[in-house]
Chains A and B, each alone.
Chain A
Amino acid sequence: MEALSPTMEEGRVVKWHKREGDAVKAGDTLAEVETDKAVMDLVARADGVLRQVAVAEGQTVPVGSVVAVIAVPGEAGGGQTAPASAPVPAVKGEGGQARPAPARSPAPAAAVVAADATRVKASPLAKRIATETGVDLKLVTGSGPGGRVVKRDLEEAGRREKGEVRGAAAPPAVPPQAPLPSPISPALRGGAPYEDVPLTQIRKTIAKRLATSLGPIPHFFLTSEVDMERAAEARDALNRQLGDRGKVSFNDVIIKATALALTKHRACNAWFQDDHIRYWNDVHIGMAVAVDDGLITPVIRDADRKALLDIGREARELAEKARSRRLQPNDYTGSTFSVSNLGMFDIDQFTAVINPPEAGIIAVGAITSKPVVADGQIVPRRRMRITMSCDHRVIDGATGAAYLKTLKEMLENPLAMLL
């Protein structure tokens, strides 16, 4: 198991693309592996024949463990002498029903060939039911010994399917092993009082990282209400001018302003590193994106130097990649400061948990029209609340407040971004 991301400690094999006995070339995708961040391709590092698959689909193993053996054709896996019989993949039996390959003639005593781990573990009855009802056993969580799919699992999967109210959203393209819990339906009541769902890699990472944030990091929070009237006017004007060349969103404006303000307050563009603080000279903004079963913060690099249109395009691409779990490690590592926006959920204001080792994050609320006193008159203005979470080990109250003031000024007067 290769480390496919800098923070990866273990990986789960989602799907094998090659089976035992297949010829492979360096660079071929052997399997899809779910890391702590995304589903990534595990590629062959040598030419040869995939002699042995050591990790079954759905199994999680630590980085560094053997997942497969590629052998030079004719050479046996695992340093054994070559058995005469090559492993035979599953063959189609009568009636199109998948049947295990027929027994091979006895192999030489020492040459134990591991069972093909690409096969799904299921009881014969479950296999039969799945074949006849057209259920893909790979999509069913097994509750039998060793995670084997048994009849009851298929029955329960069927019940869940029927009892579930699905939204209009297209089914996600991500592996289905960790669906969001369905709403509590009458079908669920009266059954088991709860359902245990194993942590997915991404959930494990969220749990680990956030616990190392809010616990050990002394957070404090600064909130400010920003007048977005002029930003809104500027955005409208820009969008009119752009026509069909693109659109600028408030989020793009906020990311750009956050980055620009950081260039003026390097004290906030920093990482806490145990015995030192690293003040960054580049500004890379992490952008929190909700995905199916968690969240991830892809990074817009050098956001202070990018045009609004470029930020917008990049943000949309990264969000899309995040949702389809196709982010590569360099897409989500190295941010120096983050932004989390829950405005689309009509949240007025909230506090975000710092993404370590960064020292701060801006939590963005919804833009709402409010009565405001301006020039002695009560007028409706579009307002937005932003809250900055600060790591007090890096940022002091006044430091944070100064940054927030700059950010507020830039948002309230977009021309200030040019200064």
Chain B
Amino acid sequence: MSTALNEYLRLAEPHLSPRLISATALADLERLARLMPPVSASGFECRLGREEAQADFGVRFLASDGSRAMLAGRVDAGSALPSSLFSHPVWERLRRFGARWDTPGTLLEQELGDVFLEFDVEGTPPPVPIPSFFIEYDRRAWRRLEAMEEALALLWGEPLAPAVRERVVACLAALPSGGSVSAVGAMFSRRFDGVRLCLQGLGPSTLPYYLLRVGWPGDPREVEALLARVAGRVERMALSLDVGATVLPRLGVECHLADSLHEADSERWASLLDALVTQGLCLRAKRDALVEWLGHTHLRSRPEALPGNLRALSASLGPKALPVFLRRINHLKLVLQPGRPPEAKAYLVLIQRWLGHDGQRRRYVFGDLQEVRDAVLG
């Protein structure tokens, strides 16, 4: 790989407080990022109520930034993932999955927008790190169950167990009007044999009753109390639910502010985090570090400091286009395990986008490489 994700991470490092991710933990993340391609979105999961300054690392693969082609091992991908990864059967399966997903006209190509790999980072990562995975439906997809099943069969090397499938079908059927599945996560290790369903279109008025309907083994009043903690400060909620042969007790409620992360929304994030600090779910130092993270980075005055891939693209596009990195919070998550105090986590993201000038329409535009290239070159 000519440019690896660690070169993007390097640009984010000055804005990552050691209160969130310690220097040691960051060095471990950096080692892992050397194995990953320069994807347009990556991120960190940080626990807000604990002093520990560690983070799990997420890498999103998708078509538009070339990372899907790299996962598929396509010869015209321009670059390749380290061959050492594919000595492991999990990565072999990821490649088979990637190849299928990258094939035009397949169900996976039609239905899936991206795949998100999440690495638990505790100490020096092994030479071949094994992530959890989330397959995310395209926003315009039908969200067919068959796509989930085909993806899981390729990634696990075996189909979804019938009892789990039955429960997943029941959970999807119980969704209220406007509810849908956005993503499905699972572990390669199969320590947990079920899946995590990420369900959107649920909110304070529908979520507790939905949990009752699907047989969640907890008290919905606990969920109502949890949601009340963030009432009025959240634009959109999503539920992450672990589903095996039964619905498991641990759940997460994602708190989002907007559908687009173009704007930093600093004041609204600060307000939401303040509420969590008041309720003892977030340490003040971590709240401050998260607000400090929000911003953007461009290297207009120091193009020589750009990662190699962006330096080359930038030179080819000329002064009408500029690569930028947005530092954003994707969402906060409240995790509830019945009988235990709730926990809060933050998901920080580093997003690589382009600013350009569209001469024909006389406007400045913001988007992915292909969109901005088309607008700039007209």
Whether A associates with B in a native complex is no
B residues in contact (CB < 8 Å) with A: none
